[in-house]
Amino acid sequence: MLRGAANGDRAAAERMTLAVLAGLLLLVAVVAIGVGPSGLSPDRVVALLAAGPGTDRFPVSESIIVWQIRLPRVLMGAIIGAALAVAGATLQGLFRNPLADPGLVGVSPGAALAAVAVIVLGNGILAPLVQPLGIFALPIAAFVGALLSTFLLYTIATRGGRTSVATLLLAGIALGAFSGAITGFFLFLSDDDQLRDITFWTLGGLGGTTWLKLFACGPIMLAAVLASPVLARGLNALTLGESEAFHLGLEVQRMKTLAIVLVAGAVGASVAAAGIIGFVGIIVPHLLRLAVGADHRFLLPGSALLGAALLVLADALARTVAAPAELPIGIITAAIGAPFFLWLLLRRRGLLGV
């Protein structure tokens, strides 16, 4: 009886948390559309939104700020934040490792290698490939690089139809080091401008967001986020251990494949859209685990909402604090996230079981 009541309490707390997080996301999104360096008043923003895109009732520059700059950025920020946080939660569950992040399954190193290759060699030997793609060369390369390197890693770790998580982890480290070496060689070849491009790219940013990018990358991430709850029961069972999960009747192999496909798609698309944005995937799931609980049925949707809110907030700050310039968003996600995370960690020491 007592146990049932505790479960009921927890379920209620989880529902409550999800509702609060959804409210938080909505609030942050509204504020983010309302603020920016150009100082349009909130009622002006509302009027511009109501008037629709391409209105002639307002100056074209104001319409562009709201419809072509802020709105796509807020939507993109929300989708990327959700995708990164869900990817992080999924990987931490899959690897049963609190430090798991997309780098481990080859996504970020592969994307970085491809992106740096395009930046450095785009005017040289890769020109025939890069020039026709124009500004889409970098995102496409990052996406393809992420998927290829994840596929390679998955193939290495899979023998006789079974994927070994341990092999995946270790091969991921080796492959990451190898990609890092090649990336380093491209860095050696790069000139000053390219070097700065690379540095900024690895800190991420939503500055280049357009509707086109949103419609190209958004659906992949959205699909991954919406499909992730399918994994929740499996990830819960996996916390007991792989063979235990298998004996519970879980199709462990299918789950691993699905999880890796989801993560590669979601993170690959996010890297293509906004470069490498660190920390969201690590911190958001842990925050929720510490605050509410580790049940993946709650953790996955909760991570999506909190990740979205955190990134939209971080982007709003990135656009405003250094105005008229813009800070790389990776600085802000880590600067907000890390101290808060430490505080929670110190308060609830010992609860960080994954």
Interface residues with another protein (CB under 8 A) are: 36-39, 52-54, 60-61, 64-65, 67-70, 134-135, 188-193, 196-197, 200, 205, 207-213, 215, 319, 322-326, 328
Helices (H), 192-251: 192-203, 211-227, 232-238, 242-247
- Given the complex with another protein, which of 114 and 260 has the nearer CB atom? 114
Q: Bridge partners of 159?
A: 162
Please say which residue, 250 or 329, places its beta carbon nearer to another protein.
Answer: 329
Q: Annotate 103-138 with b (16+ C-beta within 10 A) or e (fewer).
A: bbbbbbbbbbbbbbbbbbbbeeebeeebeeeeeebb
- The smaller minimum CB distance to another protein, of residues 300 and 313, is found at 313
Nearer to another protein by Cβ, of 242 and 326: the residue is 326
Given a contact cutoff of 8 angstroms between Cβ atoms, the answer to whether 85 and 284 are in contact is yes
Closest CB 104 distance from another protein, rounded Å: 29
The tokens for 267 are 């993170």
- Are 276 and 203 in contact by the 8 Å Cβ rule? The answer is yes
Positive or negative, the CA dihedral 36, 42, 46, 48 is negative
- For another protein, the closer CB: 19 or 60: 60
Nearer to another protein, 165 or 214 (CB): 214
Q: In the complex, what is the shortest distance from the CB of residue 162 to another protein, in angstroms, rounded to a whole number?
A: 43
Please state the length of the chain.
Answer: 354
Q: How far is the CB of 291 from another protein (least distance, A)?
A: 33
User: Which of 53/180 has CB closer to another protein?
Assistant: 53
- Say whether 158 sits in a helix, a strand or coil: strand
- Specify the long-range contacts of residues 351-354, CB closer than 8 Å, at least 24 apart: 351/289, 351/290, 352/98, 352/286, 352/289, 352/290, 353/294, 354/92, 354/93, 354/96, 354/97, 354/98, 354/239, 354/289, 354/294
Least distance to another protein, CB of residue 120, Å? 11
In angstroms, what is the minimal distance from the CB of 190 to another protein?
A: 8
**Rounded least distance, CB 201 to another protein, Å:** 10
d(CA 17, CA 11): 10
Q: How far is the CB of 169 from another protein (least distance, A)?
A: 33
